[in-house]
């Protein structure tokens, strides 16, 4: 990896966040990043969830992770030391550690605790990370804790996966309020990049209702692409592969390719290769 002057290209940083558990954050982080990587974009996934699902899903179970996002945020190392290749072209990973779950308490007296990830990403001492990648996706834990705040402070924008089920909108107000607080304090430029409807089940009337409801309430920030409920998406992590590599032709993978194209088009790229 060669560092380039930061003025040339700067990675877009996307935090994938929703404090609700199991809504498709990690599935979206892995498959959107893979879609972007397949489109020729240099991508980095930062796993910021103590559960480490993005790391496991990319072939790094807990015992295969050496230096992690925990070591970097705890101040033991820089982020470059935690970077690892995934075996997929254009796709790198900073794996997570279960130790991340103790960070809130560990950093309680540190006035800069919310800006630690931002400082790590902006640190050009070894490698200029923002120049080395086109996209950095941060997989957040299911909580609005210090880790998610670090992600939002470091990010340019937030992508919110929303499961098409009853109560989908519950908690969204709190999430948007957290975004507003971060905008008001540490990251005025933070944007909501979009809401992604996930696990859409076309045999279930409720899915249609929820999708309609969300579009009615939040219209313009909802991605056109809807991710269907698809068993291949849930199987892929057990083979430690992105769904896009496990079964490129399944409905779930096709939806994530469409989401990639929609994101790239919105970012001013004419097409996803
Ligand atoms: P957590 O809050 O625990 O981090 P999450 O929001 O990251 O969860 P995922 O881990 O992506 O959610 O998804 C939760 C579960 O649902 C996983 O088992 C995943 O494989 C499965 N899943 C995700 N998206 C889909 C989908 N579209 N269709 C079917 N299963 C899915
Ligand atoms: Mg997750």
Q: How does pLDDT run along the chain (273 residues), one tens digit per residue?
A: 444 444 457 999 999 999 999 999 999 999 999 999 999 999 999 999 999 999 999 999 999 999 999 999 999 999 999 999 999 999 999 999 999 999 999 999 999 999 999 999 998 888 899 999 999 999 999 999 999 999 999 999 999 999 998 888 888 999 999 999 999 999 999 999 999 999 999 999 999 999 998 999 888 899 999 999 999 999 999 999 999 999 999 999 999 999 999 999 999 875 433
148 and 181 Cβ atoms separated by less than 8 Å: no
Residue 227: CB within 6 Å of ligand 1?
Answer: yes
158 and 37 Cβ atoms separated by less than 8 Å: no
What is the signed CA dihedral for 61, 239, 22, 112, rounded to 10 degrees?
30
Residue nearest (by alpha carbon) to ligand 1 atom 5: 22
Say how many Å lie between the CA of residue 147 and the centre of ligand 2. Answer: 13
Residue nearest (by alpha carbon) to ligand 1 atom 13: 24
Secondary structure E strands in 39-150: 43-47, 84-85, 91-94, 135-139
Say how many Å lie between the CA of residue 123 and the centre of ligand 1. Answer: 32
**Integer CA distances (angstroms), 170 to 18, 43, 165, 176, in order:** 11, 31, 10, 11
- Say if pTM beats, i.e. exceeds, 0.75: yes
What is the signed CA dihedral for 231, 232, 236, 239, rounded to 10 degrees?
100
Say how many Å lie between the CA of residue 84 and the centre of ligand 2. Answer: 19
As a whole number of angstroms, the distance between CA 163 and CA 174 comes to 16
Closest CA relative to residue 226, chosen from 196, 191, 267: 196
199 dihedral zone (left: phi>0; alpha: psi -120 to 50; beta): left
Q: Of ligand 1's atoms, which has the minimum distance to the CA of residue 237?
A: 20
């Amino acid at each position: 990896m060669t560092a380039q002057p930061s003025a040339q290209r700067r990675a877009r940083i996307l935090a994938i966040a929703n404090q609700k558990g199991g809504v498709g954050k990690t599935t979206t982080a892995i498959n959107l990043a893979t879609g972007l990587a397949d489109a020729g974009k240099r991508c980095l996934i930062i796993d910021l969830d103590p559960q480490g699902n993005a790391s496991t899903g990319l072939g790094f179970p807990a015992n295969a992770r050496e230096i992690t996002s925990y070591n970097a945020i705890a101040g033991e190392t820089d982020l470059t030391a935690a970077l690892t290749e995934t075996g997929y072209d254009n796709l790198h990973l900073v794996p997570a550690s279960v130790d991340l779950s103790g960070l809130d308490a560990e950093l309680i007296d540190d006035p800069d605790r919310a800006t630690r990830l931002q400082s790590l990403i902006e640190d050009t001492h070894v490698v200029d990370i923002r120049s080395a990648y086109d996209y950095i996706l941060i997989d957040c834990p299911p909580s609005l804790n210090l880790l998610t705040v670090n992600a939002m402070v470091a990010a340019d924008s937030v992508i919110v996966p929303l499961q098409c089920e009853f109560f989908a909108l519950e908690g969204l107000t709190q999430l948007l309020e957290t975004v507003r607080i971060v905008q008001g304090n540490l990251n005025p430029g933070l944007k909501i990049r979009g809401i992604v409807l996930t696990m859409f089940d076309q045999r279930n009337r409720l899915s249609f209702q929820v999708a309609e409801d969300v579009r009615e309430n939040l219209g313009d920030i909802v991605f056109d692409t809807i991710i269907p409920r698809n068993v291949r998406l849930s199987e892929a992590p057990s083979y430690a592969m992105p769904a896009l590599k496990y079964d490129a032709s399944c409905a779930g993978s096709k939806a994530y390719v469409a989401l990639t194209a929609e994101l790239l088009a919105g970012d001013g790229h004419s097409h996803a290769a």
